[in-house]
Amino acid sequence: MLTHPMLDQLAKLGLTGMAQAFAELEASGEGATLTHADWLGLLVDREVTHRRDKRLATRLRYARLRHHAVVEDVDYRAPRGLDRALFHKLAGGEWIDAHDNLILCGPTGVGKSWLACALGHKALYGASDVKVLVRTS
């Protein structure tokens, strides 16, 4: 099989995930044990995963979130008056689907920016575009 021309053609078509998977299958020798349908399915799956990861990386870079915060790490015991039910509802993202904005307000140091970044990460992993703006007054 003409491996190098195939890799070049995949690269020209912009199928870099598929090209990487093809090269790995050829190098490992596992490609010979797979049926044609399984082999093609594996290549297509890797391309889809590669494109999804690339889009997520682009959205994360564009969002410029200052903290790597996740909703699951929110400490509700901290004395900041955060309503658990309301925050879980916000994390659900219905307000994003409705094209609403969100303003978090409170005293200095209670974690408003961190909470905004946690909601931003949740939205980004749910395939929404996010921009967190921090305004101090």
pLDDT tens per residue, range 19-71:
999 888 888 877 778 888 988 899 999 999 999 889 888 888 887 888 888 88
Q: What pTM did the predictor assign?
A: 0.65
Hunting for tokens 């955060």 — which residue is that? 82
- Averaged pLDDT score across all residues of the chain: 83
pLDDT above 80 for 117: yes
Question: How far apart are alpha carbons 55 and 124 in whole angstroms?
Answer: 10
- DSSP 8-state code for residue 111: -
Query: What residue type is 10 in one-letter code?
Result: L
- How many residues belong to the chain? 137
Q: Do 76 and 82 meet the contact criterion of CB atoms below 8 Å apart?
A: yes
Where do the structural domains in the chain lie, given as residue ranges? 3-63, 71-125
